[in-house]
């Protein structure tokens, strides 16, 4: 039976042609961010439709900002985004690894090896290195953790900036860590400010919001009290329906207003009954009740964003409610202190609750620099969380990838059949990290890789990687170039998954889209 009627409006490529096009798309994406890897990586200048510019070498930012149409390229970007969400670093490595795996797979396809065989070999290689990756890990102490976080910022800003961001990130994560070392990163708030330098950035215990109390007559500081969070306001409500009031006497309108004020006072009385000390609303608080709140010693804040209210709820153990009338005593939260302070002539509200929270004020001299500092903090906080929850680290400079590749080649010798070639191709692929690091530093990549492999083999040590300052193999532990084990593991998992998924595609169907004429305006108008 002919397939023509079914696929009449569909463009199709299949077999080796489809695989070749898919690998070409993946390689094109990999090449686009290849030069950003490592401390010697270069930056990308991104320009959007409105002419706004962004300078960064953050791989996932480049990929997510670029307009990509090819579905395979989108699969690669999704793998990078997943790496960013889980590990917060290694996004560029994931894409480069996947691209190299696919390029090596294509060479095997040209030799007559079926993609399914290559996929099985890649899966065996992945499982093997995940089983033996613990052999190269190191347990970290406090100093090593600072080194690891600083390494994650390599190539982003100058050395003092990297050190400052690393120190603040680790301090913030330790502030919110529970007794079992679990960390909820959503309890860390980042406030960016233009002006000053990165070295002026600070971290504070507690949740800090750029707000001030609605009246200076309210207490500036309150300790050990109850807080209520309203996803609404404490104000007069506008009549929602078309309603006409027929005023027959002078006092009717005033009575109407008095009743509105009375209804607001009743809500405040409920807060007093609950023993509330602090009130935070997403919407406004009517001026008519301001003095009433002051009288009862209630500290009040209005127009607090919903995200901030949710953070307050986590920090203080409160529940967000729609209105005061719908609240119950169980919705209240407890706080240790609620304080109003001024930093650099800006007002802040600082809340310290039982649930722990931390705030980082990130500074930069220009808007562009502040944006890059924010991205640096995003990466360093994610790395810090991994180090607090799991202190395992590995040597950087490509040392861990070379060590795993050496083990894989020995493992490949035990596998019969053509899958052995796929395992060896996988080992070659993960060594690409050393080559790219060398390329971006202006060093010969092949010689560098051979030197690192020889050094690890001759010394029987997994710690040797490429020192980009000298171009020679060095002990990365002694050099202080370390990275979390979780980043390397997730990068390998993500790259393998997307490479295998692309190898298993043997048919690409493109639906043809006909040009559509715009609707003509109605002549009757």
Q: Is 14 helix (H, G, I), strand (E, B) or coil?
A: strand
Q: CA 360, 364, 365: angle at the middle one, nearest 5?
A: 155
Tokens of 271: 């807060």
* 460 has catalytic annotation: no
Contacts of 161 (CB under 8 A, 6+ apart): 153, 198, 199, 373, 376
325 catalytic per annotation: no
Catalytic option among 36, 61, 91, 94: 91
Contact 461, 374 (CB under 8 A): no
Q: Which of 36, 58, 61, 462 is catalytic?
A: 58
Check 84, 89, 379, 467 and give the catalytic one.
379
Burial 472-507 (b: 16+ CB within 10 A, else e): ebbbbbebebbbbbbbbbbbbbbbbbbbbebbebee
Please give the C-alpha separations between residue 122 and each of 53, 191, 324, 348, in angstroms, as whole numbers: 40, 44, 59, 54
Catalytic residue from among 61, 92, 94, 151:
92
First-residue to last-residue Cα distance in the chain = 52
Would residue 117 show up in a list of annotated catalytic residues for this protein?
A: no
Helix, coil or strand: residue 472: strand
- Dig out the tokens for 272 from the structure: 């007093």
Dihedral, CA of residue 315, residue 321, residue 324 and residue 330, to nearest 10: -60
Query: Catalytic annotation on 378?
Result: no
List residues with catalytic annotation.
Answer: 58, 91-92, 379
């Amino acid at each position: 039976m002919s397939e023509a009627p079914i696929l009449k409006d569909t463009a199709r490529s299949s077999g080796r042609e489809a695989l070749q096009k898919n690998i070409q798309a993946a390689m094109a994406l990999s090449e686009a961010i290849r030069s950003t890897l490592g401390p010697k990586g270069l930056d990308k200048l991104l320009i959007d439709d409105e002419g706004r510019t962004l300078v960064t070498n953050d791989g996932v930012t480049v990929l997510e900002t670029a307009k990509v149409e090819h579905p395979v390229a989108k699969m690669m970007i999704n793998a990078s985004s997943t790496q960013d969400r889980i590990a917060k670093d290694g996004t560029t490595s994931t894409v480069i690894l996947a691209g190299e795996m696919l390029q090596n797979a294509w060479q095997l396809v040209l030799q007559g090896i079926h993609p399914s065989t290559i996929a099985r070999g890649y899966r065996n290689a992945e499982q093997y290195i995940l089983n033996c990756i613990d052999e190269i890990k190191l347990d970290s102490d406090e100093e090593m953790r600072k080194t690891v976080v600083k390494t994650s910022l390599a190539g982003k800003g100058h050395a003092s900036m990297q050190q400052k961001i690393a120190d603040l990130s680790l301090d913030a994560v330790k502030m919110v860590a529970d007794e079992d070392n679990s960390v909820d990163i959503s309890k860390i708030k980042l406030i960016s400010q233009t002006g000053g330098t990165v070295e002026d950035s600070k971290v504070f215990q507690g949740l800090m919001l750029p707000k001030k109390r609605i009246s200076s007559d309210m207490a500036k500081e309150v300790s050990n009290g109850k807080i209520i969070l309203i996803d609404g306001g404490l104000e007069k409500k506008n009549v929602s329906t078309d309603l006409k009031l027929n005023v027959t006497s002078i006092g009717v309108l005033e009575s109407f207003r008095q009743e509105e004020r009375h209804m607001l006072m009743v809500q405040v009385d409920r807060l007093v009954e609950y023993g509330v000390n602090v009130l935070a609303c997403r919407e406004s608080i009517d001026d008519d009740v301001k003095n009433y709140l002051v009288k009862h010693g209630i500290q009040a804040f209005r127009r607090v964003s919903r995200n901030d209210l949710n953070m307050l709820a986590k920090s203080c153990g409160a529940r967000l409610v729609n209105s005061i009338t719908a609240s119950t005593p169980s919705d209240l939260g407890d706080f240790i202190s609620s304080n109003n302070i001024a930093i650099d002539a800006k007002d802040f509200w600082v809340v310290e609750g039982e649930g722990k929270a931390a705030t980082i004020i990130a500074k930069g001299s220009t808007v562009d620099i502040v944006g890059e500092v924010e991205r640096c903090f995003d990466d360093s906080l994610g790395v810090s969380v991994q180090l607090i929850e799991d202190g395992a680290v590995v040597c950087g400079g490509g040392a861990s990838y070379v060590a795993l590749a050496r083990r894989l080649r020995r493992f490949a010798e035990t596998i019969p059949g053509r899958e052995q070639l796929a395992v060896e191709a996988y080992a070659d692929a993960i060594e690409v990290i050393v080559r790219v690091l060398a390329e971006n530093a202006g060093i010969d990549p092949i010689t560098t890789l051979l030197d690192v492999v020889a050094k690890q083999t001759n010394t029987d040590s997994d710690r040797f990687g490429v020192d980009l300052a000298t171009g020679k193999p060095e002990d990365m532990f002694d050099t202080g170039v370390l990275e979390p084990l979780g980043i390397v593991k997730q990068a390998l998992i993500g790259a393998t998954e997307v490479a295998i998924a692309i190898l298993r595609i043997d048919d690409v169907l493109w639906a043809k889209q006909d040009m559509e004429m715009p609707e003509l305006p109605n002549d009757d108008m």
